[in-house]
Amino acid sequence: MNNAKKIETWFDLVRILVAVLVAYAIALVILALISDDPLYVIQQFIVGPFSSFRRFGNILSTMIPIIFTGICMCFVYAINKFNLVGEGAVNLGGCLSACVAIALSNKVPAWLLLIIVLVVGCLAGMAASLIPALADQIFHADVCVVSLMMNYILLYLTNYILKYRIKDPGSSITASYKWAPALKFRNIIPKTSVHAGLIVALICVVLAAVLFYKMSFGFKMRIVGLNPVFAKYIGIPVVSTIILAQVIGGAFAGLGGTVQVLGMFSSYQWTALTGYGFDGLMIAVLARKNPALVPLSAFLIAYIRTGADIVSRTTDIPPEFVSIIQGIIIVLVAAEMFLSGFKRRLIFNSAKKALAEKEGKA
Amino acid sequence: MEALKMENITKIYPNGFVANKGITFSVQQGEIHALVGENGAGKTTLMKVLFGMEQPQEGAIYVNEKKVKISSPLEAIELGVGMVHQHFMLLPSMTVAQNVTLGMEPRKNGLVDTQKAVQITQEMSDKYRFGLDATARVGDLSVGLMQKVEILKALIRGAKVLILDEPTAVLTPQETRELFEQLKLLRTEGHSVIFISHKLEEVMELCDNVTVLRHGYCNGTHPISELDAAGISRLMVGRDVVLKIEKEDPKPGKPILEVRNLTRTNAEGKKTLNDVSFTIHEGEVLGIAGVEGNGQSDLSDSISGMVSYDSGTVKLNGKDLKGMKIVDIRSAGMSVIPEDRMTVGCVNDLSVQDNAIADRFDKKENMNGIFLDKKKAKSITDALIKEFEISCDSQDEAIRFLSGGNIQKVVVAREFTSGANFVVANQPTRGVDVGTAEMIRKYLVRQTREKGIGSLLISADLNEILEVSDRLLVMRQGRIVAAFPKANVVDVDELGEYMLGIRTMTAQEMEGVL
């Protein structure tokens, strides 16, 4: 195998590990200034998430929704359109699924209702994502701006539905009527909050990876994303591929909203954006837009989140500061150019060596 | 006095391409010096070296007889060398004065002194009779005036030597005449001008001396008074290595591609194709010669469906291609070897295999039900690698790790095996090594003769076009200006004269050859 390629492949892994270490080192320095016991804080951050079964469970349940949005962003990112509607798609998917679940509870069998609800989530996400995609293609409205605005439109639309259409007046908090308990995802690991949604998420990972790498649409999509001029020249329908990729991505985000709502709650309660959509972008970047790597990068993000949560609850560090540390880690991990000079030197040296060997033989 | 001297310049690019070989070139103070040569002769590289955009491996540069090192355009400007690029480097939303004084704005109390900027710009423009309004927005100016802004930018930074890279390519004849007057005025003021051009009549009219480059070598500097246009053309084009290709005479069959009255206006409003008509038959290679930028790219893009055209028809195997999707054009029998393999011909980050099968992976026989058939893809690619002698470590290797010649082989392999009976080969051997170039040429001829496909060869390489083509057309300014029934007996000097606009054939002369 070509040396340069080998170096590039290995380098990504090494780079992420080094980035995490550097980030923790920076965090340690800052913590030394504001904490009485910085080593303890760091220890909680790093090993805390693995210190008990329940905490490890927290990592897994944190992963569930962001696997869906991570897959969503892999599709969007693959065709180079920054459609950030994942956020709104999650809310819309969750809310419309809840409406259907409430309306049809005890009217159709639970298994059928579950399927209907999941399909509604997908459709909601597809619709949410289609709007910025079309605006981009037809009106050349920047897909990034339109999708960010869409997120707020969808948030307030779902807030309206929650407060004026499905709110349970008997509830002390802002929550909808409850749906049939049979609909709620069961816990799959006792004494944790890990629910069956994790299985749905992993099935989606497999589906997305197959679509990406085993089917012609995935291949077309990757070509369009990497070189649209070539795609046009070779006869791939560029516009429809771009729109379809975004719609498929939206379906996964919408489904993620449904799964999260059914897994964590027995009534619909979201009144703010969840942040899962933006996590999805980060995960897709980390996974190098490969859906098969999404669980891994989702695990990394969930691990950092869980560690941060533990630190803010068990130490003297305020939660705001924890968010800063988390930010440092993520920025360094996501920075593609981090250590790139080092990589170039490695490739250059190996090329020089190969040349010298060749000349030696000749 | 010598304003500038470049001595023994050798420039090798990181991919091993030798663009300049021991070129010595000097410019006197107060002269207009022409630098001419075919595309790829090394003119642009030489000027990039002079302007500090490229570093040579060997050689020295002297400015005012002092040895200097120019490692960036900023240093070049400091030494009094200014460059007017072919593609203007201007900010359209800002005024003339803002553009001209950008980065060196006059200041008052720490703020930009707009009035002063306008004043010095206006004075300079008036001095050289550029006729510019310093307060006008650059975006509102004509191309000719934008070029004046570029020149002014160089002059205000103290340029004594001005490099103009094909300045008249974008100008109307009237604007060209005006530019020449102003350049002559600059010459009397003691400035030196390096004038890069393809248009020999302009060189004859304007310049004092001419330096000819060919294939990276300097072919001498001559006073214009000792040469005529035909003489320069001979120095520029002159055949050195003649690559002979053995081929029998074509036996043209029925027409495959019929182009009728094709006319196209590009986004800038320039007519790039003007009433182009020709027919290509089974079993023949039609060559199109011409100085680059005379509509060849638009012709190949229009035929292959990459761009739309104003009027005319393109028929492939009897089907009118107008408005057809590219995928359908391809299945109607079209294959294309594009001019720019890196941006059009392949996807850098995908593997050799992905690139080789990009046009056929979703054909029914190459799919496994609804899934891609990896085994089939591998066997198709293996066969192509073997047949076309593509050297790569593995077919899963990203194509960007291959050499230029091998990348081109992948493109050629894909296009020649797509099952099409017509191929557009646009500069198929540009920038590839001699061996690969020869192989591609022979393959093109063999496919045409043995399989009876029709080929359109567009090339700036005269050896190639004369050896490979059966019939030969010459394009200039979007028109067919000459047609020869047998390419391999065409006199290269005569061809050069048609390419450079010294001669044009009448419609009667071309009848029956189109």
Spell out the domain ranges in chain A: 1-35+321-362, 54-316
Angle between helices A238-264 and A86-104 (to 10 degrees): 50
Residue of B nearest to A230 (CA): B344
Contacts of B393 in chain A (CB under 8 A): 1-2
Q: What's the pLDDT tens digit per position in A39-94?
A: 888 888 888 899 899 999 999 999 999 999 999 999 999 999 989 999 999 999 99
Q: What is the average pLDDT across A298-307?
A: 89
First-last CA distance in chain B = 53
pLDDT band of B202, cuts 50, 70, 90:
confident
A217-221, A229-233, B293-297, B344-348 — which is least confidently predicted? Answer: B293-297
Q: Residue B469 and residue B441: Cα distance in Å, rounded? A: 10
Residue A274 to chain B, least CA–CA distance (Å): 35
In B, minimum Cα distance to A215 occurs at: B371
pLDDT score, position B242: 47
Write the CB contacts of B226 (distance below 8 Å, at least 6 apart in sequence): none
* Closest CA of chain A from B438, distance in Å: 25
Q: What is the pLDDT of residue A27?
A: 79
Contact B394 A1 (CB under 8 A): yes
Give A143's pLDDT tier (boundaries 50, 70, 90): very high
CB atoms under 10 Å from CB of A326, counted, come to 20
Classify burial at B491, counting beta carbons within 10 Å of its beta carbon; exposed 0-12, middle 13-18, buried 19 or more.
exposed
Q: Which two tokens stand for residue B220?
A: 């001498």
Place of tokens 């010598």: B2
d(CA A340, CA A327): 21
What is the pLDDT at residue A29? 85
**What does the pLDDT read at residue A1?**
42
Closest residue of chain B to A210, computed from CA coordinates: B371
Residue B16, φ and ψ in degrees, nearest 5: 95, 0
Q: Element (H or E) spanning B7, and its range?
A: strand B2-12
Q: How confident is the model at residue A362 (pLDDT cuts 50, 70, 90)?
A: very low
Q: Please give, rounded to a whole number of angstroms, the shortest distance from the CA of A10 to a CA of chain B.
A: 15
pLDDT tops 60 at residue A358? no
Interchain contact, A234 vs B358, CB within 8 Å = yes
pLDDT digits (tens, 9 = 90+) for B488-512: 888 877 888 888 788 899 888 888 8
Range B409-414 average pLDDT: 95
Q: Which position has the higher pLDDT, A195 or B172? A: A195
pLDDT at A146: 95
In a mutagenesis test of the A interface, which of B328, B350, B410 is the best target, namely the one with the most A β-carbons within 10 Å? Answer: B350
In order of A98, A263, B5, B30, B120, the CA distances from B188 in angstroms are 84, 85, 20, 7, 21
Instruction: Flag whether pLDDT at A256 surpasses 50.
Output: yes
- A320: exposed, middle or buried (Cβ count in 10 Å: 0-12, 13-18, 19+): exposed
- In this structure, the strands spanning B285-289 and B454-458 are parallel
- Average pLDDT (B242-253) is 76
Q: Please, what is the angle between helix A53-78 and helix A294-314, to 10°?
A: 140
Please list every residue in chain B whose beta carbon sits closer than 8 Å to the beta carbon of residue A354: none
Distance CA A165, CA A99 (A): 9
In angstroms, what separates the C-alpha of B418 from chain A's closest C-alpha?
11
A142 CA: distance to closest CA in chain B (Å): 21
Contacts of A216 in chain B (CB under 8 A): 361-362, 367, 372
* Dist CA B358 CA B305 (whole Å): 18
3-state helix, strand, coil in chain A (%, to 5): 75, 0, 20
CB contact under 8 A, A226 and B397: no
Residues of B in contact with A237 (CB under 8 A): 325, 327
Number of Cβ pairs closer than 8 Å across A and B? 71
Q: What count of other Cβ atoms lies within 10 Å of the Cβ of residue A336? A: 10
C-beta atoms of A233 and B304 within 8 A: yes
| Min distance B333 CA to chain A CA atoms (Å) | 13
Which pairs with CB-CB distance under 8 Å and at least 24 residues apart come from A108-113? Answer: A110/A180, A110/A182, A110/A183, A113/A180, A113/A183
Confidence band (pLDDT; 50, 70, 90) for B92? confident
Residue of A nearest to B411 (CA): A234
Q: What angle do CA B204, B209, B213 make, to 5 degrees?
A: 95
Contact B361 A219 (CB under 8 A): yes
Q: Are B43 and B35 in contact (CB under 8 A)?
A: yes
Which residue in the set B348, B367, B397 is minimally distant from A216, CB to CB? Answer: B367
List the single best residue of A226, A230, A239, A348 to mutate versus B (max B Cβ within 10 A): A230
Residue of A nearest to B394 (CA): A1
Would you say residue A344 has pLDDT above 80? no
Domains of chain B as residue ranges with CATH: 2-237 (3.40.50.300), 243-333+421-514 (3.40.50.300), 345-418 (no CATH)
Average per-residue pLDDT for chain B:
88
Tell whether A223 is within 8 A of chain B (Cβ).
yes
pLDDT of B269 reads: 78
Q: Is A358 on the interface with B (CB under 8 A)?
A: no
Please count the helices (runs of H) and the strands (runs of E) in chain B: 17, 24
Average pLDDT over residues B29-50: 86
Q: Does A240 touch chain B (CB under 8 A)?
A: no
CB-closest option in A5, A215, A227 to B347? A227
State the best of B344, B395, B403, B406 to mutate against chain A, taking most chain A CBs within 10 Å. Answer: B344
Determine whether the interchain pair A214/B372 forms a contact, defined as Cβ–Cβ distance below 8 Å: yes
Q: Which of B326, B358, B371 sits opposite A214 (nearest CB)?
A: B371
The pairs formed by A148-153 with CB atoms below 8 angstroms and a separation of 24 or more are A148/A84, A150/A85, A150/A88, A151/A84, A151/A85, A151/A87, A151/A88, A151/A273, A151/A277, A152/A88, A153/A88
Question: By CB neighbour count within 10 A (0-12 exposed, 13-18 middle, 19+ buried), where does B284 fall?
Answer: buried
Q: Is the dihedral of CA A95, A99, A100, A102 positive or negative?
A: positive
CA gap B254, B316 in Å, rounded: 12
Residue A321 has pLDDT above 80, yes or no: no
The 10s digit of each residue's pLDDT in B378-408 is: 999 999 999 998 988 889 988 987 877 889 9
Please name the residue of chain B whose CA is at the shortest distance from the CA of residue A229. B344
Residue B241 is predicted with a pLDDT of: 43
pLDDT digit string, tens, across residues B263-299: 999 887 788 999 999 999 999 999 999 877 789 999 9
Out of 1.10.3470, 3.40.50, 1.20.1070, 1.10.10, the CATH code matching A54-316 is: 1.10.3470
